[in-house]
């Protein structure tokens, strides 16, 4: 398109110059001056056209480069989305394996210690587990239905806050005492990792509760911890 425009500038100029020389032979200086002006005008027009064409080409190249960059980013983003989906699938599968193993450990602990635990906590108890690799907590069904008609457990904040080879500090589940509609919240308890099965009194209690609450570490395989929360009637 640019060369067509240049030819369109040049041809009229040639025709105009030819016309001047053919019609004004008696005034050569005037013809010469007009010819020079026409040539300068044509040159200026061609330069401006070339400059405009160059500028448009630069803009087009920049636009194409930006489009390619966006296209590359979209491709990278799609790859990342695919990778994230694959990673999420692997993480979900891994968590399912952890939950399954934790459930198995909880069930075996319950089967092994049910009689002993009911002797220690005749009002009832509940088992729950924490996996140290993913800080995942899991609770089981409680023993002592009558007791748990009085208590409600919130497991959402359970976590191991500190852990050494000798001891740990656990954030306990929030417990609501239904008859008074009051909560034990934000309770933490330090527990030695050995010996297993030793009971420790719950750090806080509520006025009017009919039970004392205890906590113990029942199993510890360095990856998963099984805890017991037990209840005994106050004397």
pTM of the entire structure? 0.64
Confidence class for position 9, pLDDT limits 50, 70, 90 = low
For residue 31, pLDDT over 60 is answered with no
Give the confidence band of 93 by pLDDT, cuts at 50, 70, 90. Answer: confident
pLDDT tens for each residue of 116-138? 999 999 999 999 999 988 778 88
Q: Is the peptide bond before 97 cis (omega within 30 degrees of 0)?
A: no
Q: What per-residue confidence (pLDDT) applies to 136?
A: 82
Mean of all residue pLDDT scores within the chain? 80
**pLDDT for 198:** 95
Backbone torsion region of residue 183, taken as left when φ is above 0, otherwise alpha when ψ lies between -120 and 50, otherwise beta = beta
Per-residue confidence band for 19, with pLDDT thresholds at 50, 70 and 90: low
Q: What is the mean pLDDT of residues 198-224?
A: 91
What angle do the packed helices 2-23 and 28-120 form, to 10 degrees? Answer: 170
What is the model's pLDDT at position 48?
Answer: 63
Q: What is the pLDDT of residue 203?
A: 85
Residue 101 has pLDDT above 90, yes or no: no
Could you report the per-residue pLDDT of 136-167, keeping only the tens digit for each?
Answer: 888 887 888 778 889 999 999 999 999 999 99
pLDDT of residue 8: 52
Choice among 13-22, 146-155, 184-193 with the minimum mean pLDDT: 13-22
Range 196-203 average pLDDT: 93
């Amino acid at each position: 398109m640019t060369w067509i425009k240049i030819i369109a500038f040049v041809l009229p100029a040639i025709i105009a110059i030819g016309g001047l020389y053919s019609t004004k032979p008696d005034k050569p200086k005037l013809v010469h001056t007009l010819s020079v002006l026409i040539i300068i005008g044509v040159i200026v027009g061609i330069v401006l056209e070339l400059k405009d064409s160059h500028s448009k080409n630069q803009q087009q190249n920049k636009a194409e480069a930006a489009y390619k960059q966006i296209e590359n980013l979209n491709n990278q983003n799609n790859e990342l989305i695919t990778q994230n989906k694959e990673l999420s699938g692997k993480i979900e599968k891994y968590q399912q394996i952890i939950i399954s193993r934790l459930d198995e450990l909880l069930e075996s602990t319950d089967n092994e210690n049910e009689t002993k635990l009911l002797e220690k906590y005749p009002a009832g108890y509940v088992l729950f587990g924490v996996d140290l690799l993913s800080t995942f907590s899991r609770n089981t069904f409680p023993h002592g239905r009558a007791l748990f008609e009085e208590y409600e457990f919130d497991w959402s904040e359970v976590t191991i806050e500190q852990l050494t080879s000798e001891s740990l500090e656990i954030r306990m589940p929030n417990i609501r005492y239904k008859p008074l509609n009051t909560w034990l919240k934000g309770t933490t308890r330090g527990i030695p990792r050995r010996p297993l099965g030793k009971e420790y009194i719950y750090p806080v209690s509520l006025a009017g509760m009919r039970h004392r609450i205890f906590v113990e570490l029942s199993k510890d395989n360095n990856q998963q911890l099984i805890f017991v929360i037990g209840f005994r009637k106050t004397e």
